[in-house]
């Protein structure tokens, strides 16, 4: 069984699989700088490889994590404290379109005498993964309802700050189902930092934080009327002032 599991892991994260492989520097002077990536990055995150080379890996993260990621990496190499290395986990990278995408990520460290430390991330989109009862269990993967629910379109994702409540990113399904565009979040529009989670979930701040963090979660009402009343008006005013701005993302 151990051999079967090891073979499964090697196939899942091999260069011949559908895994996006991104290599970053772990050296102190250029920590987080992307050194290489395979072409699967275009399929999953919609970036061309050349778009990422020489950029910091925080480029493909929600801002709330991007702001602290370099320090987290440096802290790991300085202290060697247990972290997210060498275990599969659920992450939400930012696609080129500005939408977050739920993925499984495995991070490994590869020291090299000539080039220093390399950090390699193996990224798989949960959207394209098919749940299988024969798959080896991973304790840090999303729950069955989340993984299967996303594939069937029943689960949608919003990343927001626990202190500021600012919404930093939404999955593309939020736009298709509820009209919540990435153009309203800090992912693509710095002017919309007043777009907070309580605007669309009016009762969320009244809830017990422990219940919000529980596996079962809470049932809340999603109200998108705020988007049409306030942001649509702001969009119309913005278009009249900047008629040539083709990059504006609307509902």
Q: Are residues 9 and 121 in the same domain?
A: yes
**Model-level pTM?**
0.73
Q: Are residues 7 and 117 in the same domain?
A: yes
* Strand 167-170 relative to strand 158-160, pairing: antiparallel
Per-residue pLDDT, 185: 84
Tell whether 150 is covered by a domain. Answer: no
- SS3 at position 150: helix
Q: Are residues 8 and 97 in the same domain?
A: yes
Tell whether 138 is covered by a domain. Answer: no
Q: Are residues 106 and 16 in the same domain?
A: yes
Q: What is the pLDDT of residues 55-90, one digit of tens each?
A: 999 999 998 899 999 888 888 888 877 667 778 999
Give the chain's domain count.
2
Residue 57 in contact with residue 68, Cβ under 8 Å?
Answer: no
Q: Exposed/middle/buried for 24, CB within 10 Å: 0-12, 13-18, 19+?
A: buried
Q: Are residues 30 and 108 in the same domain?
A: yes
Structure tokens at 236: 């119309």
Per-residue pLDDT, 1: 45
Q: What's 104's domain CATH number?
A: 3.30.450.20
Residue 91 in contact with residue 103, Cβ under 8 Å?
Answer: yes
**Domain span holding position 93:** 2-128
∠ CA 200-203-207, nearest 5°, is 130
């Amino acid at each position: 069984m151990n051999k079967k599991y090891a073979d499964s892991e090697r196939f899942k994260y091999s260069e011949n699989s559908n895994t996006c492989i991104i290599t970053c520097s772990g050296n102190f002077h250029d920590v987080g700088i992307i050194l290489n990536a395979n072409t699967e990055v275009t399929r999953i995150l919609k970036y061309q490889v050349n778009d990422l080379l020489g950029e910091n890996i925080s480029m493909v993260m929600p801002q709330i994590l991007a702001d602290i990621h370099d320090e987290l990496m440096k802290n790991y190499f300085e202290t060697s404290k247990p972290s997210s290395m060498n275990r599969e986990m659920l992450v939400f990278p930012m696609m080129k379109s500005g939408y977050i995408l739920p993925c499984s990520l495995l991070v490994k460290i590869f020291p090299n005498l000539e080039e220093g430390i390399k950090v390699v991330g193996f990224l798989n989109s949960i959207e394209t993964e098919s749940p299988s009862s024969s798959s080896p269990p991973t304790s840090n993967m999303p729950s069955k309802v989340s993984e299967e629910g996303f594939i069937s379109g029943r689960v949608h994702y919003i990343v927001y700050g626990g202190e500021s409540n600012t919404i930093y990113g939404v999955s593309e399904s939020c736009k298709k189902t509820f009209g919540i565009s990435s153009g309203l979040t800090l992912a693509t529009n710095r002017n919309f930092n007043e777009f907070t989670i309580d605007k669309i979930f009016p009762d969320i701040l009244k809830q017990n934080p422990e219940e919000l963090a529980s596996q079962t979660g809470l049932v809340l009402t999603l109200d998108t009327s705020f988007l049409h009343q306030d942001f649509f008006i702001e969009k119309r005013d913005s278009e009249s002032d900047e008629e040539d701005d083709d990059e504006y993302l609307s509902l």
